[in-house]
Amino acid sequence: MQLPSFETDGRIQVRSVRTNDSPRFATKIEGQADSGYWIYAPYTDDYRSMIRVQDELEVSMLWKGAVYFFAATVIGERHDRVTLLLISDPVFLRREQRRGFVRVPVLLDAEIAHNPLPRDASAEEW
């Protein structure tokens, strides 16, 4: 299985796993480090970061029609023009298929003819 690439400016979503009802934040990958990936720290409407060092995260990303999930730990923080968080490398990826169509069970009346008659022939000639 080919794995998704974690590229710079790749869009991801992160969610703290402290509580089940924690919100999911959209953010981007800023770059790669030796021990993980730098991401932009997500902020709430009042400009407070909800994620701190040592927090466990659920990270998700879209790639080739599927959503990939993995667990990561915030292992560092850097304050430049914007706050960056260093998250650990994924150990295990879970793939969830997202289809662009829906399968609906339908019963159809069908007539099968092994040797179909020409349109002008009658059934008695058969």
Answer whether residue 81 is part of any domain: yes
Helix (H, G, I), strand (E, B) or coil at 91: coil
Bridge partner list, 29 = 39
Answer whether residue 113 is part of any domain: yes
Our count of domains for the chain comes to 1
pTM of the predicted structure, to 2 decimals: 0.67
Question: Structural domain of residue 41, as residue ranges?
Answer: 11-125
Q: Is 64 left (phi over 0), alpha (psi -120 to 50) or beta?
A: left
Answer whether residue 42 is part of any domain: yes
Angle at 89 between CA 73 and CA 59, to 5 degrees: 60
Chain position carrying tokens 């969830």:
96
Answer whether residue 3 is part of any domain: no
Answer whether residue 98 is part of any domain: yes
Answer whether residue 5 is part of any domain: no
Dihedral angle sign, alpha carbons of residues 36, 27, 65, 16: positive
Answer whether residue 1 is part of any domain: no
- Mind listing the pLDDT tens digit of every residue in the chain (126 residues)? 555 667 777 888 888 887 777 788 888 888 888 888 888 888 777 656 778 888 889 988 888 878 888 899 999 988 888 888 999 988 888 888 777 677 788 888 877 777 766 666 665 654
CATH of the domain at 111: 2.30.110.10
